[in-house]
Structure 1
Amino acid sequence: MNFFRIKKTYYSARRLQEIINVFIKHGFGQIIDQIHLGRFIALKKRIRSFGRWPSYKVPSLAERLRIAFEELGPTFIKLGQLLSSRPDIVSIAYAKEFKKLQDRVPPFETEKVYEIIEKELGVSIEKIFDSINPEPLGSASIAQVHEAVLKDGKEVIVKVRRPGIKQQIMLDLIILNSLAKLIEKHVPESKIFDPVGIVDEFSRSITKELDFRREARNAMIFRENFKDDPDVYIPYVFREFTTEKVLVMEKVEGLRIDDVDAIKEKGFDIEVLLKKLIEMYFKQIFDHGFFHGDPHPGNILVTENFQIALVDFGIVQRIDEKFKEAYANVALAIINQNTDKLITEYLKLGIIPEEIDKEKLKEELKEDIEELLFPIYTYRIEEIKISELIESIMKVALKHRLRFLPELLLIDKVLIMLEGLTRQLCPKISIIELLKPYAKKIISKRLHPEFYLNKTLKGLNEFKEAALNIPFQLKTLLRKAVKDEITVRMYHVNLPEFIKDIDKASNKIAFALIVSAMILSSAIMHATEVKPLIYGISLFGLITGVFAFFLGLWLIISIIRSGKL
């Protein structure tokens, strides 16, 4: 166990040094200094820079950060992709830059693919597959995909997790968590962006993506949800051949949805096809409360039977009835150009910092949103671009330091991608027009007496549970009061760190005074020729001077390496 800890610490330190060097290379040396990680910078580089880091040839901070993420590999590329969908955290400029991150890496050896499959399934390849195509269909940072044929002749897709990737990502997550805490501690203005919260959200997201059993369950839920829909096809998952590292799924033959020429050659109607696609997504969001979060053209196929097939179920999201109702209200408020309603519902879907005055915020939001959306409201419904609408609202949210729930942002991302696809293939289709009946359907539920009855019963049940807990809570409080166990804790936010800094500074001053005293003593002993003498130099004076020289040099190096020069 001790050896494992030493090994883990060694690899962590090496990886941290690699990360720091990449950030310095791309012009972030000042931030490394600020978060007190100067000790991980090579002494030669520290002395050369002497606290002044060179400017980088690419002026844009967002672009430099994106290039650094690409160089640091899979974990950071995935982090950048997550941040690309969180403009409320990193700003629109950074989100747009992170969208350029490409998750494509060279494939790993076919022998490794076979080895992983056999180890995971516990049998030889020949007993399961009739053949496996050694050339991968695609290769990404977490997995690569191969075509294969089962023993019974069924064509399948085999997804295999990249060897060692989980260990690498887990190590990077530990380092990212430490970096986030240091950033929050030493860069106070970063707390607005909640670095630790970002890393926690990313950690949950990527951990799910590493386990293919979760993706298999997602696919099975989609298949069940659409089992009676003749326009949608979800591939079958072979559960008996699926593990944490291997996923075997039915191969779907079809055309990419953006392959317009091939679709037209088949005699399919593009407009009808896109309407089916959009309605399928609205069913997922508003009927099922479980939707596919990555609708890029490569994940949507058109089959021979004119069905829409979805593939890749790694990014999905659940939403509850309360969320669906609020989102439907947002859609209707936009359609009806009701700014007050839009603000109220968006605030329900967002996270408002406690220190913000809500009434004042509503007034400021109304003024800003009306100013931004007034030009859009002059358009006809079919002319409104969802991407422009969402970006306008996001700008206002950023201005007022509002956060949005991940579910909301993922729905927004889905709608933007669908709108981009429809405008590319059939501009006359209006997503907002197709959204209208779904929004009205959800709102109409509130007009039914059953809706209010259920809501009332739920409220009464919550009140009953709270009332039943009051005696127990009072009893606990009184018991603690009698035993004198009630304490009031006060904590000064930055006092411990301030005391540590004062201690370090005072220790360095005391150390410097000792060195100065030794140099002075050496000079006095030399001047008064304190015996014994060597070549006319006092031996004690010489020893004291040499010792003082090395102590002084040590002090200077420690100051330089601390990054506080």
Structure 2
Amino acid sequence: MLPFNRINRNIRSLKRYRQVLGILIKYGFGHIVEQLNIDYYIELGKRIVSLGTASRELERLTQAARFRLALEELGPTFIKLGQLLSTRADIVTSDVLEELQQLQDHIPAVPTEQIMAQIHQELGYPVEEIFETFEDTPLATASIAQVHRATLKNGEQVVCKVRRPDIQSVIETDTDIMMGMAYLVEKHLPGGDMYDPIGLVKEFRRTIQRELDFSREGRTTERFAANFADDETVHIPKVFWDHSGQTVLTLEYVSGIKISQHKELKEAGLDLKIIARNGADNFLKQVFIHGLFHADPHPGNIHVLPGNIICIFDFGMAGRLDDELKLHLTELLLCVLHRDVDRLIMQLLYSGELHDESNLRNLKRDLTEFIDDYYDILLQDLKIGKLLIDFVEILTEYQIKFPSNLMLLSRALFVMEGMGKQLDPDFNMVEQLRPFAEQIIKDRYSPTTIAKETAQTLQSYHALGKSLPKDIKEFINRINHNKFKIDLEHRGFERLVNDLDKSTNRISFSMVIGALIIGSSLIMQIDKGPMLFGFPILGLLGYTVAGFLGFGLAIAILRSGRM
């Protein structure tokens, strides 16, 4: 029996659960759904799919493409999950990563009346009292929000980002379903626990709940503005807090040219080479100086203003890097430039990411090939973003854990590098990065840093020395009082028990049918009791019951797909 209370205590819509399973089956993932032991819902899903059109066209697509299409049909929450997975090369393969990066929202715009009602509910006043003008047609529409242009009462031009009125309940329902399915994946799929699906869904739920809070995005926007307050090459839109809240974010309207519109940039008299350099410097400052970077720098989020000034929008997705990760990135680049595989492996050992079970010999071979692939490339042709992505793929292959922000950075850097090359064929990201890397190495080995780390190490040993005697005493006491326990957990054992239970039930059912047939045959040999057409009624009744039971058993076996 499916432990529904355990896997989905808060599920709001059984219909939505059926819809999710039906779409997964429709796109060719029925075998995975079946492995989750949701027998009842498999039948419901098959009925849903049987009512639709034939899926021969879908069968011609790759599994990665079908997965992307399934996420798009499942709606905004699952699209957001796909976008999260596109940053997790440790979980999905490279072909799936490429497909997930093409995820698109197909969401119709919310009627203006509902948007205005949402603004009224959040800010406490009707739209007419807040804005002088408010355009009905949205500038942009996405899965979580849509953006409208407006004018404040003082005449300032703004854009108003408004959360979709029903999106909160949709996301809560879908994340409940995801949590239930993650529980089943970890429990029933072989090796499912290795990827920590429950932890992944928890991370996704935390991320998307933060994204739903526009006041958090407003604070992030102001942090970026503060970081670049003295940089004349960057402009961050102003936040109007009097007209903002958790579901509404009002920002300064900035009229610029998309960084990908090269013809328009040239016609405006802007210098593409300077734009490429300013964009790269801006992003590298985010990463290596501030440790807070824009994680979704596609051309729609980057415009160019007069004077080759870079204007950045939409800070809903941001990544963070600490000093240690910055140093590791710098060391990786130096290892490639100096062709030093042993130093790279030592870095992995030092960071604690390389475990004992990793195959060091094969890892060293693959890292040598990785470095050789990039060593002979001229510096101006070296693509740092691609280098990081290839490095992450090696880490994934050997199950070496790495911060999720590293994949976010790899993607963002890859996009920024590509935009730089399009603007200026001679653009060289390595030369842009060099002064930042040199400064990090210089700071890392400065006397101040070494003294600080030495003090921290001594403090840690001091704390360890104080707690060690107490821990040893507690350990010995537990052994002396027979309170020392080791817990063993059998993962996947319940699936075997369920399969054995099904087999036992079928065997018992077959024995009952056999007994009915044998008993009815014996009764047919006796000319006693009530008769029908010259045959004992009791014998005919036994044959009839056995026939119905046998037919039902055959149908159940055929539906399960296991003969």
Cα distance in 2 for partners of 1:202, 1:44 equals: 26
Query: How far is the alpha carbon of 1:8 from its aligned partner?
Result: 8.4
- Out of 243, 246, 252, the position equivalent to 1:244 is 246
Question: Which deviations, in whole Å up to 9, do the C-alpha atoms of 1:28-58 show, x marking residues without a partner?
Answer: 2222223323321347958999xxx987532
Query: How far is the alpha carbon of 1:23 from its aligned partner?
Result: 2.1
CA contact (8 A) 1:350 1:405 kept: no
Question: Which deviations, in whole Å up to 9, do the C-alpha atoms of 1:311-339 show, x marking residues without a partner?
Answer: 10011012211111111222232333433
Q: Show the 5 A alignment for 1:55-454.
A: 56-191=58-193, 193-345=195-347, 351-352=353-354, 354=355, 356-357=357-358, 360-361=359-360, 363-454=361-452
Residue 444 of structure 2: SS of its match in structure 1? Answer: helix
Query: How far is the alpha carbon of 1:93 from its aligned partner?
Result: 1.1
**For residue 522 of structure 2, what is the aligned residue in structure 1?**
524
Gaps of 5+ in 1: none
Cα distance in 1 for partners of 2:168, 2:350 equals: 37
Residue 163 of structure 1: SS of its match in structure 2? Answer: coil
Residue 366 of structure 1: SS of its match in structure 2? Answer: helix
CA contact (8 A) 2:25 2:46 kept: no
Cα distance in 1 for partners of 2:562, 2:174 equals: 27
Residue 41 of structure 1: SS of its match in structure 2? Answer: helix
Question: Which deviations, in whole Å up to 9, do the C-alpha atoms of 1:287-308 show, x marking residues without a partner?
Answer: 1111111111111122235422
For 2:34, give the aligned amino acid.
Answer: D
Residue 291 of structure 1: SS of its match in structure 2? Answer: strand
Residue 90 of structure 2: SS of its match in structure 1? Answer: helix
- Deviation larger for 19-28 or 34-43: 34-43
Q: Which has the higher contact order (CA 8 A, sep 6+)?
A: 1
For 1:219, give the aligned amino acid.
Answer: T
Change (3 A) 1:548 1:204: same
Cα distance in 1 for partners of 2:244, 2:473 equals: 52
Query: How far is the alpha carbon of 1:479 from its aligned partner?
Result: 5.2
Cα distance in 1 for partners of 2:387, 2:480 equals: 59
- Out of 505, 512, 535, the position equivalent to 2:510 is 512
Residue 404 of structure 1: SS of its match in structure 2? Answer: coil
CA contact (8 A) 1:226 1:232 kept: yes
Residue 251 of structure 2: SS of its match in structure 1? Answer: strand
CA contact (8 A) 1:335 1:381 kept: no
CA contact (8 A) 1:330 1:346 kept: no
CA contact (8 A) 1:212 1:244 kept: yes
Change (3 A) 1:478 1:385: closer
Cα distance in 2 for partners of 1:124, 1:284 equals: 39
**For residue 487 of structure 1, what is the aligned residue in structure 2?**
485
Change (3 A) 1:93 1:349: farther
Question: Which deviations, in whole Å up to 9, do the C-alpha atoms of 1:410-456 show, x marking residues without a partner?
Answer: 11111100111011110111011110110110111133211111001
Change (3 A) 1:201 1:44: closer
Residue 30 of structure 1: SS of its match in structure 2? Answer: helix
Cα distance in 2 for partners of 1:108, 1:166 equals: 14
Question: Normalising by structure 2, what TM-score?
Answer: 0.90
Cα distance in 1 for partners of 2:559, 2:413 equals: 50
Cα distance in 2 for partners of 1:44, 1:267 equals: 58
Query: How far is the alpha carbon of 1:553 from its aligned partner?
Result: 4.0
Q: Name the count of aligned residue pairs.
A: 554
Cα distance in 2 for partners of 1:310, 1:301 equals: 7
Residue 150 of structure 2: SS of its match in structure 1? Answer: strand
For 1:205, give the aligned amino acid.
Answer: T
Cα distance in 2 for partners of 1:564, 1:404 equals: 40
For 2:38, give the aligned amino acid.
Answer: L
Residue 87 of structure 1: SS of its match in structure 2? Answer: coil
**For residue 40 of structure 1, what is the aligned residue in structure 2?**
41
**For residue 465 of structure 2, what is the aligned residue in structure 1?**
467
Query: How far is the alpha carbon of 1:95 from its aligned partner?
Result: 0.8
CA contact (8 A) 1:89 1:403 kept: no
Query: How far is the alpha carbon of 1:217 from its aligned partner?
Result: 1.5
Residue 95 of structure 1: SS of its match in structure 2? Answer: helix
Residue 267 of structure 1: SS of its match in structure 2? Answer: coil
Change (3 A) 1:428 1:498: same
- Deviation larger for 96-105 or 524-533: 524-533
CA contact (8 A) 2:224 2:236 kept: yes
Gaps of 5+ in 2: 1-5
Cα distance in 2 for partners of 1:44, 1:491 equals: 32
**For residue 3 of structure 2, what is the aligned residue in structure 1?**
none
Superposition RMSD in Å? 3.0
Residue 120 of structure 2: SS of its match in structure 1? Answer: helix
Change (3 A) 1:155 1:54: closer
CA contact (8 A) 1:36 1:563 kept: no
CA contact (8 A) 2:389 2:410 kept: no
- Deviation larger for 115-124 or 81-90: 81-90
- Percent identity between matched residues is 36
Change (3 A) 1:456 1:27: same
**For residue 19 of structure 1, what is the aligned residue in structure 2?**
20
Change (3 A) 1:406 1:48: closer
Query: How far is the alpha carbon of 1:282 from its aligned partner?
Result: 1.2
Cα distance in 2 for partners of 1:127, 1:136 equals: 20
CA contact (8 A) 1:373 1:389 kept: no
- Deviation larger for 382-391 or 215-224: 382-391
Cα distance in 2 for partners of 1:424, 1:545 equals: 79
CA contact (8 A) 1:325 1:443 kept: yes
Query: How far is the alpha carbon of 1:389 from its aligned partner?
Result: 2.5
CA contact (8 A) 1:22 1:72 kept: yes
CA contact (8 A) 2:190 2:492 kept: no
Cα distance in 2 for partners of 1:561, 1:122 equals: 56
**For residue 498 of structure 1, what is the aligned residue in structure 2?**
496
- Deviation larger for 496-505 or 291-300: 496-505
CA contact (8 A) 1:27 1:64 kept: yes
CA contact (8 A) 1:106 1:139 kept: yes
CA contact (8 A) 1:301 1:310 kept: yes
Cα distance in 2 for partners of 1:329, 1:536 equals: 95
Query: How far is the alpha carbon of 1:10 from its aligned partner?
Result: 7.8
Change (3 A) 1:378 1:355: closer
Residue 90 of structure 1: SS of its match in structure 2? Answer: coil
Query: How far is the alpha carbon of 1:222 from its aligned partner?
Result: 0.9
Cα distance in 2 for partners of 1:48, 1:225 equals: 52
Question: Which deviations, in whole Å up to 9, do the C-alpha atoms of 1:352-410 show, x marking residues without a partner?
Answer: 4x4624xx52x433322332442432222112123442344344334433343211111
For 1:429, give the aligned amino acid.
Answer: F
CA contact (8 A) 2:270 2:307 kept: no
Question: Which deviations, in whole Å up to 9, do the C-alpha atoms of 1:48-77 show, x marking residues without a partner?
Answer: 99xxx9875324111121122222111222
Question: Which deviations, in whole Å up to 9, do the C-alpha atoms of 1:140-185 show, x marking residues without a partner?
Answer: 1111111111122221111111122222222222222322333333
